[in-house]
Amino acid sequence: MANPKKERKGIVAVFRYLDKVSDAVKHMHRNKQFRDHVIYSPTSYHELMEHGEKVYGFSEVRWFTLVGALAGIATGFGMPIGMDWDWPIVVGGKMGGFYSLPAYFVFGFELMVLFGALATIIGMIIMGRLPDPRGKIRHNAITNDRFVVFVPGVGVDSEQAHLLRQWGADEVHHSE
């Protein structure tokens, strides 16, 4: 997908229904005229996500989650084992360290979840390039309940605008 910040002017097509915008997205990816388009959605929908994964591949955020979870497990087991070797408390004749390993599973699990969640949030911020101070809301309905498709470099009377109306866009107008 091209960088939408390169070209600010274009058209904005507003869709009301998810099925119409998902059909339009399928048509747009087959059509070479919609090469640099950007789709804005009020929330995440699996129909749009599945199509995006087919075209652009899977999200890289999952690697952040994996690394964070593995770091949490390593910390969750390593920290108590290190503390147990540094200051052993012998209870019932049991030695410290790996002999009391089952007691560390809860701590390892909790830190796996915590570090994985924090790494996921960091990954979403980095991979989503957030915050973007130059970002622009193309249409006020995006924040409510509408889907918006931005096509840069074309006018309202272009063939792309006609196709978007044909595919179910409620309104098509200029973008600044």
Mean pLDDT for 24-44 is 85
20-29, 46-55, 127-136: segment of lowest average pLDDT? 127-136
Q: What pLDDT, on the 0 to 100 scale, is given for residue 57?
A: 85
- Answer whether residue 119 shows pLDDT above 60: yes
% of the chain residues with pLDDT over 90: 40
Q: What pLDDT, on the 0 to 100 scale, is given for residue 1?
A: 44
Domain boundaries, the chain: 10-42+144-175, 61-127
Q: What pLDDT, on the 0 to 100 scale, is given for residue 3?
A: 52
- Answer whether residue 7 shows pLDDT above 60: no
- Answer whether residue 4 shows pLDDT above 50: no
Instruction: pLDDT band for 109, please (50, 70, 90 cuts).
Output: very high
- CATH architecture for segment(s) 10-42+144-175: 2-Layer Sandwich (3.30)
Q: What pLDDT, on the 0 to 100 scale, is given for residue 69?
A: 98
* 133 CB burial (10 A radius; 0-12, 13-18, 19+): exposed
